[in-house]
Amino acid sequence: MTATAVIDSPDARALMRSVGVPLHFGPVDRRLFGMLHEPASGGDARERVLLCPPFGQEAVRLHRFFRVLAERLSRQGALVLRFDYFGTGDSEGSDADGDYGGWMADVDAAQAVLQERGPVVPVLWAGAGLGATIAMSAAARVAAPPARLVVWEPVIDGRAYLASLRERHVETLEASYSLWDPSWRRALTRRPDAFTAEAVGFAVPVPLREAIHAIEPDGVGRDLPCDIDVVADPENAPVRAWAARLGGRVRQVTPLANDFEWTAEELRGAALVPTAALKTLLSLCAT
């Protein structure tokens, strides 16, 4: 099999520009999957946008959101790359291979794809959840950092995030099985080591867990080489306080009500692509 998909008709080219062309990139032993959305007009890109997905079930839940966001940005003249970190989505590897440092390198590899393509126009990174945190960590280390970052509900307190994942894991088990097991909740309360190795369907290997555990508000975004826009729920006081402490690098903090469950297994009437979130991210990602 060859490494790239064949595009062989004008209609197909037009469609691909809108809905994305699948591609594989990265080192041979760390092949990553991505979807590249070219400017729908067929002209040169006005900007380049890299979308960094969140972790685990959150990435599954937000897949459609990121696809629609990418399509809309492409219609506004952007070159957009969505991708999966190693061991996630359609990328090579298993979820047991997940590691924070490797995912930072994956952001760098994805950035290289964008840099290889299109004219020299600003590159913006947008990340959600843990993806926002990974993007901030990577931006401080890569040779060619983005011109700007958009971070939506970044994880700034790793311990709190891991605790929320444990809680959500047990809630998911209780919702999913017809016969819930009371020992699940007892273990959640009484045994700190229970439900730490996996979270809502995805493995959380020890190195990844330790890396997330080490995420603290004072460390996140400390060495940012670019300006950031923060998107957070009005009631997310920790993130708002963190953004205030970052000071001048933060262009603005945009309130966005968190009105859907990021780890939901089923929609249960919720919108697959929340309109307010789409409008907010679109406006912040467009230059």
Q: Compute the least distance from the CB of residue 198 to other proteins, in Å.
A: 5
- Residue 273 touching other proteins (CB under 8 A): no
How does DSSP assign 129-188, residue by residue? THHHHHHHHHHTTSSS--SEEEEES----HHHHHHHHHHHHHHHHHHH-SS--HHHHHHH
- The tokens for 136 are 């901030």
Q: Per the structure block, which two tokens stand in for 82?
A: 């969505």
Among 41, 43, 44, 94, binds other proteins (CB under 8 A): 94
Question: Is residue 171 a contact residue for other proteins (CB under 8 A)?
Answer: no
Q: Are strands 123-128 and 47-52 parallel, antiparallel or unpaired?
A: parallel
42: left (phi over 0), alpha (psi -120 to 50) or beta: left
Residue 76, both tokens: 């506004």
CA distance linking residue 229 with residue 285, whole number of Å: 9
110 binds other proteins (CB under 8 A): no
Does 182 bind other proteins (CB under 8 A)? Our answer is yes
Query: Residue 29 corresponds to which tokens in the numbers above?
Result: 């032993």
Alpha-carbon distance 160 to 37, whole Å? 35
Q: Is 282 in the site for other proteins (CB under 8 A)?
A: no
Least Å distance, CB 70 to other proteins, is 10
Q: How far is the CB of 131 from other proteins (least distance, A)?
A: 16
Beta carbons of 282 and 69 less than 8 angstroms apart? yes
The one segment of 13-21, 40-48, 112-120, 274-282 that binds other proteins by CB under 8 A: 13-21
Stretch that binds other proteins, among 115-123, 151-159, 192-200, 209-217 (CB under 8 A): 192-200
Q: What is the DSSP string of 233-273?
A: -TT-HHHHHHHHHHGGGEEEEEE----S-TT-SS-TT--SS
Nearer Cβ to other proteins, position 94 or 189?
A: 94
Selected from 206, 237, 244, 272, the binder of other proteins by CB under 8 A is 272
- By the rule CB under 8 A, 137 interacts with other proteins: no
Residue of 265, 274, 278, 286 interacting with other proteins (CB under 8 A): 265
How many residues touch other proteins (CB under 8 A)?
53
Residues in touch with other proteins (CB under 8 A):
1-3, 5-7, 9, 11-12, 15-16, 18-24, 28, 31, 33, 35, 57, 60, 63-64, 67, 88-90, 92, 94-95, 169, 172-173, 176-182, 197-198, 200-203, 265-267, 272
